């Protein structure tokens, strides 16, 4: 299946007419559009609809099929979708849901079209437009197409947009573009009682057309009867994830074989929208980036071969929708030599201060740490021989966490079901790796370089992930604060905490911080002092052996296996008098600690705060990919 950019030609005279029109809030325009053209409007007239979905380029496509819907109200309806390889019967009756599925994958494009033909302005997109305060030309002010649009930074800090296009004269919807949906162009409007209904979409490779639309008079109640609601683990769920989240559970990828081109692309990267099936394989891939066909073909061919760790929503395997930014090769781009580049900067940082590179000399380190309030104190010790041979130990109060890496295995041991979060934070602050270390992944397009200040120190900020307009980074964002002239690392943001590196001293050919301060950890400020740093000599092989400890993974056992996070400690939120249900997107680090909770379904802070506080204290067995602990994501329902 091929996707091409939909080109909408706007005449200059039409744009000029729209530009001179009165501007009104888009919220007013959308309310009018919903009332005039949404079949499934709450309180609307019952209807029966049958429609056909067609892939115009392939009569045997898996996306071809039919949609049949019996609609009594927004809380009582029945829909049957029949495609080549998948069918679904879904009945909603009050708070009960029945869903019968045949086949493993529900193509998201078909699902969107089935929704669009009865509800072309879904609530998430409407809420986003209202939140952004879009304004548009008042209908009746001219001919042609009017647009209301706004660019904004998404959750990963990348520029995106929401766009509403409508007829300047009639005010009827033409198309909608938002991060949560990308619909075809609405066309063939016909009267249905007092509404004007779009009978089809156009200009996309896959479109839908209404064959039958009529009143639903005296329907058979058995159509909506649910004797046994379908449990959530039997339903098909599609979840939207950011690229940063999706890439953390990437298992294998095929590199793009970039072709020779007659003209370089206008941007440094292209965006590919994908849907990952419940088996972890890419089921759909499309791009709307303005690139030559050969570039599009090469990118989509490679991405369709990628595999991911299957993801769960509330313990149920889910389809995942996300977007990937694929950077173009260097020969496609004109590099501005005056601007700092991410990869060379990380290379300079490695040369100046990275102790743990392949081929580096062995060392022995001891450190001590304490919290500002005195509630936590402990020690850290590390013996490092190579990237695949080291031992690290943190003693915190009366608990000891030990990690050992050998040529063939990785061990991790601690008392109880989970390690103290602070112990992992201290170990990570001292022993972290830079992106690109020892052949690890460095996805250049994820990173930006800007001038910044760390306290009063001028630095370059290397950042990946979303940073709000107020400068607050997302908990999963990564930031490094670096002196431009020296390439000394002076600060690092990781999992909502900032580590400051001071008292820089030479050690061999490197320069190493001997004083570290963690700001933003759960106990408050943590002071770390590197008390001993010396070459490692006469190393006993016994320190790399942990009697009776089973390895977390071994090199011999590595394969394409993956496991989901499993909760080992939970506490129920206390919300007196609250009755309801919310879904929480929970992000869990590679040690099993919860690092972020996004409460969806309510904006009531009296509900959000206690739920978030409770789940932030939960602990998990971490997700794994090929046996290696990995960042994980789960959806938790709270009611």
Burial class of residue 446, CB neighbours in 10 A (0-12, 13-18, 19+): buried
Nearest to 559 by CA among 289, 251, 258, 331: 251
Residue 474 has pLDDT above 90, yes or no: no
**What is the pTM (predicted TM-score) of this model?**
0.65
Report the percent of the chain where pLDDT is more than 70.
92
- pLDDT tens digits along 530-574: 999 999 999 999 999 999 999 988 877 655 567 788 899 999 998
- Is the domain defined by 559-638 classed in CATH 3.60.15.10? no
- pLDDT tens digits along 153-167: 766 566 788 899 999
Beta bridge partners, 389, equal: 386
Give, for 473, the enclosing helix (H) or strand (E): none
Of the candidate ranges 105-114, 239-248, 335-344, the one whose mean pLDDT is the lowest: 335-344
6 pLDDT tier (thresholds 50, 70, 90): very low
Measure the CA dihedral 65/239/197/94, to 10°: 100
pLDDT of 559 reads: 54
pLDDT of 557 reads: 64
Domain with CATH 2.50.20 in the chain: 12-234, 342-556
- Residue 597 contacts residue 615 (beta carbons within 8 Å): yes
User: What gap in Å lies between CA 82 and CA 85, rounded to an integer?
Assistant: 8
Alpha helices in 273-360 (DSSP H): 293-303, 342-353
- In the structure encoding, which two tokens stand for residue 65, read together? 């099929």
Which of the two residues, 181 and 283, has the higher pLDDT score?
283
Residue 310 has pLDDT above 60, yes or no: yes
- pLDDT tens digits along 416-436: 999 999 999 999 999 999 998
pLDDT of 336 reads: 56
Which of the two residues, 270 and 516, has the higher pLDDT score?
516
Structural fold of domain 240-332: TolA/TonB C-terminal domain (3.30.2420)
Domain with CATH 3.30.2420.10 in the chain: 240-332, 559-638
3-state secondary structure of 29: helix
Domain 342-556: assigned CATH number: 2.50.20
- pLDDT tens digits along 225-268: 999 999 877 889 888 888 877 887 788 888 899 998 888 888 87
For residue 487, how many other CB atoms are within 10 A of its CB? 19
Per-residue DSSP letters for 346-379? HHHHHHHH---STTPPPEEEEEEEEETTSS-EEE
pLDDT of 7 reads: 35
Alpha helices in 330-447 (DSSP H): 342-353, 421-431
User: What gap in Å lies between CA 588 and CA 318, rounded to an integer?
Assistant: 17
How confident is the model over 486-506, as a mean pLDDT?
A: 95
Structural fold of domain 12-234: outer membrane lipoprotein receptor (LolB), chain A (2.50.20)
């Amino acid at each position: 299946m091929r996707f091409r950019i939909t080109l909408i030609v706007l005449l200059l005279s039409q744009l000029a007419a729209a530009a001179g029109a009165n501007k009104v809030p888009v919220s007013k325009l959308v309310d009018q559009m919903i009332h005039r053209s949404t079949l499934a409007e709450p309180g609307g007239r019952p209807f029966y609809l049958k429609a056909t979905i067609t892939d115009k380029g392939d009569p045997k496509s898996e996306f071809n099929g039919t949609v049949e819907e019996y609609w009594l109200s927004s809380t009582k309806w029945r829909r049957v979708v029949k495609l080549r390889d998948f069918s679904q019967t879904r009945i909603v009756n009050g708070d009960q849901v029945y869903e019968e599925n045949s086949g493993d994958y529900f193509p998201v494009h078909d699902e969107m079209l089935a929704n669009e033909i009865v509800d072309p302005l879904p609530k998430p997109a409407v809420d986003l437009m209202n939140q952004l305060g879009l304004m548009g030309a008042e209908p009746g002010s001219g001919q042609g197409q009017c647009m209301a649009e706004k660019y904004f930074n998404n959750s990963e800090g990348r520029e995106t947009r929401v766009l509403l296009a409508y007829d300047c004269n009639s005010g009827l919807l033409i198309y909608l573009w938002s991060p949560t949906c990308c619909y075809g162009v609405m066309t063939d409007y016909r009267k249905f009682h007092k509404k004007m209904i779009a009978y089809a979409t156009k200009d996309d490779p896959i479109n839908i057309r209404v064959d039958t639309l009529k009143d639903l008079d005296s329907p058979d109640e058995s159509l909506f009867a649910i004797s046994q609601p379908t449990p959530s683990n039997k339903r098909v769920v599609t979840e939207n994830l950011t690229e940063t989240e999706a890439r953390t559970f990437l298992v294998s990828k095929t590199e793009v074989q970039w072709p020779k081109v007659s003209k370089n692309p206008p941007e440094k990267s292209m965006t590919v929208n994908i849907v990952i099936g419940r088996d972890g394989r890419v089921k759909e891939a499309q791009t709307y980036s303005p690139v030559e066909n050969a570039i599009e073909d090469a990118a989509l061919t490679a991405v369709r071969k990628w595999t991911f760790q299957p993801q769960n929503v509330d313990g149920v395997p889910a389809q995942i929708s996300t977007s990937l930014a694929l950077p173009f090769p260097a020969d496609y781009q004109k590099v501005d030599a005056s601007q700092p580049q991410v990869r060379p900067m990380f290379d300079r940082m490695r040369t100046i201060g990275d102790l743990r590179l392949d081929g580096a000399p062995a060392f022995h380190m001891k450190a001590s740490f304490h919290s500002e309030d005195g509630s936590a104190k402990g020690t850290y010790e590390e013996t490092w021989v190579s990237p695949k041979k080291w031992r690290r130990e943190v003693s915190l109060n009366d608990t000891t966490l030990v990690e050992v890496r050998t040529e063939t295995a990785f061990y991790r041991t601690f008392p109880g079901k989970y390690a103290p979060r602070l112990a992992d934070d201290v170990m990570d602050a001292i022993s972290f790796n830079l992106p690109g270390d020892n052949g690890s992944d460095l996805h250049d397009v994820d990173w930006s370089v800007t001038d910044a200040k760390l306290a009063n120190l001028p630095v370059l900020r290397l950042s990946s992930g979303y940073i709000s307009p107020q400068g607050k980074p997302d908990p999963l964002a990564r930031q490094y604060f670096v002196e431009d002239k020296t390439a000394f690392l002076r600060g690092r943001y990781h999992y909502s905490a900032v580590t400051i590196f001071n008292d820089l001293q030479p050690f061999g050919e490197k320069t190493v911080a001997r004083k570290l301060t963690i700001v933003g950890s759960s106990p408050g400020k943590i002071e770390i002092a590197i008390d001993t740093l010396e070459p490692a000599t006469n190393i006993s092989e016994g320190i790399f052996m942990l009697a009776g400890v089973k390895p977390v993974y071994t090199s011999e056992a590595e394969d394409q296996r993956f496991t989901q996070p499993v909760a080992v400690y939970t506490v129920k939120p206390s919300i007196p008098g609250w009755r309801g249900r919310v879904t929480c997107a929970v992000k869990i680090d590679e040690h099993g600690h919860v690092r972020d909770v996004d409460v969806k379904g309510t904006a009531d802070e009296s509900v959000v705060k206690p739920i978030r506080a409770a789940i932030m204290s939960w602990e998990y067995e971490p997700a794994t990919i090929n046996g290696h602990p990995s960042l994980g994501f789960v959806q938790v329902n709270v009611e």
